[in-house]
A and B are shown apart, each in its own frame.
Chain A
């Protein structure tokens, strides 16, 4: 375990630096090709050039290497890394507040949303997958397979907008109109986030956010369960006289969950991207909405700073998942 841990931690550093450099390089090349983002911020109505120049200087966009196409601007990258190390992820271009300050305010909301989504997708996804795997080619299996394919074909933003219109507005308005229904119940069928119901009004967006991964996890679990049920050691467990529930619950499930855990690590990235869309649609004042607004307003400062932090979070999460993977699979631990 120790060696695996060290190796994994050491591998983390180049991947971290590489991903940060990739982000940096993309930003730089984007600017080199499209012109500077300060100009873009103002659209057709630019302030005088002197104002723009001052802003550029403020945001560190006056570096001459930004005029040379495909120049990697390494010096700039090193400078940025130094800023990241001190917790400086830049400022938004309109208000000039540090990105980290914005994120600090928005973080709890997004955490709640993510928690709802993760619980929903893992619990239901694994349950459906196991059920389908155990009943391979029966009705339940066909139902799960068909519905998950359908779910995978729905991009998050489509589910989001459709649910908002049909569940949030149509069904929700009807429920909220019923006197017999308690007030909190109607809040579960929300159109937008409401600060008075910090959990309930996040349920609908949470389900939307988790929908795609739910389908993916269910399918993955199903395949994995079917594969493991065929494994020789499952037969051994039966031959040892273990009851059927134990054969499935202990001998099959533990092995089947190994690929699922890997997927969940990878899925954190999906969730982040999904949060941008979902929070945008449902007006949830979280980190995703922040990015959403940043893209709408063409505020490169917000987008670059926030995404950089999200990538860091993603990489750390993946590291944790990899370690969890080693806990689950001794073959990895003792290679």
Chain B
């Protein structure tokens, strides 16, 4: 949403966001060395352990990883909606247009949500409140972030539903979430994220709960909208195929660590980390009849008790003694990419 529109708005809260000086030349989003910890009965789990990335306008960043790797936690840390406690941002910076969100007052920061950064969740049925109509839930955004009246908010909600391709939006606006199909509900979620035309949308497994044909519809809608509005999109998924279709660059996460960051073409053609390589080799492809799948042996580690050294070494085919003792940092690899593996050269050329 443009600054001028905000200026036209009244109210103490909105003024708070106006006082913030966003640097229009700074990248849309910069995450620098983010650490998130969870305190549990069994000890402290380092859910996110030093993740950094940058997102520019109109760009799609993919965060790829299996369940429990910390990708959703990263997203929630950016949004500022972690449950604290047990979670705690233990370090790092989150800069939106050069402004550190961590240092922002909560009453200002909450206007960043929806206005600047919005989020789409995986399971739309549970992410939508069952006791309110979707129109009410959409309109709430306008009523609480702008000075829209109830009827204006409702009109806006109808517009949004129409925009995301929900037929008969005028009538459907009064329906409750459980009266929609899975795909339609996810469209409502997308509408909700788009409401204030944010600069960034974070989509956390947006199509995992959907059937493939519906997944195709939703992904198409999402990427069309992203291009129309030139938003930055952070797509979080475990699905390498979905990722290959939309992402510009990818950050692969494993056990709370970013293990590889690169352009989408590089990762899929020449992965520089054994984990990315293993993932690629273990998925069957619909367009090819492969041989035996090269599964990654073993299981991801328990986060409260990670293995010493490189977290991937117990499952790694490239592992040497050094990997058990020393944790590799993210090494710069030629071609503007990074890999957290001592032997990235070997991995690329293998």
Please, how many angstroms separate the alpha-carbon atoms of A3 and B345 in the complex?
Answer: 69
CB distance from A328 to the nearest CB of B (A): 7
Please tell me if the beta carbons of B81 and A254 are within 8 angstroms of each other in the complex.
Answer: no
* Count of A-B residue pairs with CB < 8 Å: 75
A238 at the interface (CB under 8 A from B): yes
- Chain A residues near B74 (CB-CB < 8 A): none
Please tell me if the beta carbons of A239 and B118 are within 8 angstroms of each other in the complex.
Answer: yes
- Chain B residues near A236 (CB-CB < 8 A): 121, 127-129, 192
B343 at the interface (CB under 8 A from A): no
A255 at the interface (CB under 8 A from B): yes
Contact with A along B25-44 (1 / 0, CB 8 A): 00000000000000000000
Q: Which A residue sits closest to B112, measured CB to CB?
A: A241
Please, how many angstroms separate the alpha-carbon atoms of A235 and B81 in the complex?
Answer: 7
Q: Which B residue sits closest to A254, measured CB to CB?
A: B131
Q: Is the interface of B mostly helix, strand, loop or mixed?
A: helix
Q: Which of A237, A239, A330 contacts B130 (CB 8 A)?
A: A330
Known: A233-B130, A330-B130. A238 touches B113 (CB 8 A): yes
Please tell me if the beta carbons of A233 and B128 are within 8 angstroms of each other in the complex.
Answer: yes
A219 at the interface (CB under 8 A from B): no
Interface residues of A, count at CB 8 A: 23
- Chain A residues near B127 (CB-CB < 8 A): 232-233, 235-236
Q: Which of A231, A239, A246, A329 contacts B113 (CB 8 A)?
A: A239
Please tell me if the beta carbons of A255 and B81 are within 8 angstroms of each other in the complex.
Answer: no
- Chain A residues near B107 (CB-CB < 8 A): 243
Q: Which of A232, A239, A328, A329 contacts B114 (CB 8 A)?
A: A239
- Chain A residues near B162 (CB-CB < 8 A): none
- Chain A residues near B145 (CB-CB < 8 A): 241
CB interface residues, A 76-120, toward B, < 8 Å: none
B315 at the interface (CB under 8 A from A): no
Please tell me if the beta carbons of B131 and A240 are within 8 angstroms of each other in the complex.
Answer: no
- Chain B residues near A233 (CB-CB < 8 A): 126-130
Please, how many angstroms separate the alpha-carbon atoms of A254 and B131 in the complex?
Answer: 8
Please tell me if the beta carbons of B129 and A240 are within 8 angstroms of each other in the complex.
Answer: no
CB distance from A256 to the nearest CB of B (A): 10
CB interface residues, A 277-325, toward B, < 8 Å: none
A7 at the interface (CB under 8 A from B): no
Please tell me if the beta carbons of A243 and B176 are within 8 angstroms of each other in the complex.
Answer: no
A162 at the interface (CB under 8 A from B): no
B141 at the interface (CB under 8 A from A): yes
Known: A240-B192, A241-B112, A241-B115. A232 touches B81 (CB 8 A): no
- Chain A residues near B132 (CB-CB < 8 A): 254
Known: A242-B140, A255-B130. A330 touches B176 (CB 8 A): yes
- Chain B residues near A237 (CB-CB < 8 A): 129
CB distance from B124 to the nearest CB of A (A): 9
Q: Which B residue sits closest to A255, measured CB to CB?
A: B131
Please, how many angstroms separate the alpha-carbon atoms of A239 and B116 in the complex?
Answer: 11
- Chain B residues near A258 (CB-CB < 8 A): 131
Interface residues of B, count at CB 8 A: 31
Please tell me if the beta carbons of A331 and B121 are within 8 angstroms of each other in the complex.
Answer: no
Q: Which B residue sits closest to A243, measured CB to CB?
A: B110
Please tell me if the beta carbons of A239 and B81 are within 8 angstroms of each other in the complex.
Answer: yes
Please tell me if the beta carbons of B131 and A328 are within 8 angstroms of each other in the complex.
Answer: yes
Please tell me if the beta carbons of B130 and A238 are within 8 angstroms of each other in the complex.
Answer: no
A139 at the interface (CB under 8 A from B): no
Q: Which B residue sits closest to A242, measured CB to CB?
A: B144
Please, how many angstroms separate the alpha-carbon atoms of A196 and B149 in the complex?
Answer: 51
B173 at the interface (CB under 8 A from A): no
Please tell me if the beta carbons of B126 and A241 are within 8 angstroms of each other in the complex.
Answer: no
CB distance from B103 to the nearest CB of A (A): 18
Please, how many angstroms separate the alpha-carbon atoms of A29 and B81 in the complex?
Answer: 63
CB distance from A332 to the nearest CB of B (A): 10
Please, how many angstroms separate the alpha-carbon atoms of A159 and B128 in the complex?
Answer: 44
A222 at the interface (CB under 8 A from B): no
Please tell me if the beta carbons of B123 and A331 are within 8 angstroms of each other in the complex.
Answer: no
CB interface residues, B 113-159, toward A, < 8 Å: 113-115, 118-119, 121, 123, 126-133, 140-141, 144-145
Please, how many angstroms separate the alpha-carbon atoms of A160 and B324 in the complex?
Answer: 69
Q: Which of A244, A251, A331 contacts B178 (CB 8 A)?
A: A331
Please tell me if the beta carbons of B79 and A239 are within 8 angstroms of each other in the complex.
Answer: yes
- Chain A residues near B76 (CB-CB < 8 A): 235
Please tell me if the beta carbons of A240 and B140 are within 8 angstroms of each other in the complex.
Answer: yes
- Chain A residues near B115 (CB-CB < 8 A): 241
- Chain A residues near B88 (CB-CB < 8 A): none
CB distance from A131 to the nearest CB of B (A): 18
Please, how many angstroms separate the alpha-carbon atoms of A255 and B145 in the complex?
Answer: 23
- Chain B residues near A331 (CB-CB < 8 A): 130, 176, 178
- Chain B residues near A241 (CB-CB < 8 A): 110-115, 141, 144-145
Q: Which B residue sits closest to A252, measured CB to CB?
A: B129
CB distance from B186 to the nearest CB of A (A): 13
Q: Which B residue sits closest to A257, measured CB to CB?
A: B131
Please, how many angstroms separate the alpha-carbon atoms of A233 and B178 in the complex?
Answer: 13
Please, how many angstroms separate the alpha-carbon atoms of A334 and B177 in the complex?
Answer: 11
CB interface residues, A 201-241, toward B, < 8 Å: 231-233, 235-241
Q: Which B residue sits closest to A333, measured CB to CB?
A: B176
Q: Which A residue sits closest to B130, measured CB to CB?
A: A331
- Chain B residues near A254 (CB-CB < 8 A): 131-132
Given contacts A232-B123, A255-B130, 12 further A-B contacts (CB under 8 A): A232-B121, A233-B129, A233-B130, A236-B121, A236-B129, A239-B121, A241-B144, A243-B144, A244-B106, A329-B130, A330-B176, A334-B178
A-B pairs with beta carbons under 8 Å apart, 7 shown: A233-B127, A236-B127, A239-B114, A240-B113, A240-B144, A243-B144, A329-B131
